[in-house]
Amino acid sequence: MASSVAKLHSDRVRERRWSGKGVTLGEVLSHLSELHHDISHTEAEDQGHPHPRNSVMNLVVCVGSQARAEETQEVVERMAASHPLRAVVIRRAGEKDRPNLDAEIVTEAHQLVRGETIQREQIYLAVSGPAADHLASFVEPLLAADVPTYLWWAGTPPLGERGLRNALAICDVLIVDSAGFEKPATAFLEFAGLADRLGGRIGFADLHWSRQRPWRESLSQFFSPPERRVLLGGIGRFDIDCAGEGQAAWVGGSLLTGWIAGALGWRLLRAAAVTDEHADAIYEAPGGALIPVALRSSGRTTLPRGTATRLRLEAESGGLRCLNTIELHPERDDHAHMTIELAGQPAIRQRLALPPQDESELLVQALAVARRDRVFMRSLSAAAELQDGLR
């Protein structure tokens, strides 16, 4: 399925480029200004005015390899078709004893049907030497003024390193993808700890949280009818299987479990790994009822690690009893089947569409709510508590 965040056709875009090796930050700033001036005056009538810069955000992307830099630049290009922005993609070259800066700037603009101009300014920097540990002072002069700054760390954020701590000083939101963490359980706990310490100052987002959205929405919709809401207080068991192998798959399951536990006020009593593929936990509901939770790794490797492949929820309250199961198609990743069994009624079977989402779509979702997503922050905290109990 094609991405809904698509690049523009080349004949609709005006573009200017510059690149240089072994340059200074001052040279980068000078050429950025020149390119903007050039493209903003292109096609301006003699008596007209150049279009103003109309960025709605700064997006700073940190990557660890040239290949990843190229992938993220493609993501930014897709996003910019509908979200005018200034992006700074930084590859930390790692040669700390050899200062160097290579740069490339792309400035482009296209007009919407109603005549308004959308603009993308994208700066790619390969940085080595001391500047790699002082990203704030290095990047801040490149940012557009008076718009929020999002920092997307495309990989495992080095939470203990000076470079990341320094970069957080200039950002409004930190974005990660926990499905791609190395040492996922440890990195997830460190990320949650950082969010707990700095959540009052900056926002936090996880692309894997966006990836799980269809599963959360399906469970929420099941409880939407007023007559079913009594079942929320009667959940008796929750099982979740996640893509991947071993305990690394449990991070995604913990995030979904944390969402339910945080929303319903469950208190974690204990958690333990039974095997490398299976973990059990016991929660206590506000009324004192005990809720067993099981996390399993499904071994499925066609999906991002931690993606749900099967959910099973049992509940009984107020004379109602139900079993709700959502299971991914065994051979396809684009849909799941939901089975709702309410006591005394015929089983209801529904097809749940799970269209593939690329990073540009996940980023758009994360950017829409990252600065005010209290549900995610609450879920992250509960998920971290569960992960900590499983160590």
β-strand partners of 297: 242
Least confident residue range of 165-169, 186-190, 207-211, 289-293:
165-169
Residue 49 pLDDT grade (very low, low, confident, very high; cuts 50, 70, 90): low
Q: What is the reported pTM? A: 0.90
Residue 1 above 90 pLDDT? Answer: no
CATH of domain 211-390: 3.30.360.10
Instruction: Name which of 389, 222, 380, 208 is nearest 295 in CA terms.
Output: 389
First to last CA, the chain: 38
Instruction: Give the span between the Cα atoms of 192 and 181, in whole angstroms.
Output: 13
pLDDT tens column, 138-157? 899 999 999 999 999 998 88
Q: Quick one: average pLDDT of 296-321?
A: 94
| Range list for CATH 3.30.360.10 in the chain | 211-390
Residue with tokens 């399906």: 218
Residue 3 above 90 pLDDT? Answer: no
pLDDT tens column, 80-130? 877 889 999 999 876 666 889 999 999 988 665 455 566 789 999 999 888
Instruction: Transcribe 309-376 into DSSP letters.
Output: EEEEEEEEETTEEEEEEEEE-SS-SSEEEEEEEETTS--EEEEEE-----HHHHHHHHHHHGGG-HHH
Residue 233 pLDDT grade (very low, low, confident, very high; cuts 50, 70, 90): very high
pLDDT tens column, 190-199? 999 999 999 8
* Token output for 117: 């101009």
Question: Which residues, 6 or more positions from 339, have their beta carbon under 8 angstroms from its beta carbon?
Answer: 323, 324, 325, 326, 327, 347, 348, 349
- Which one-letter amino acid corresponds to residue 122? Q
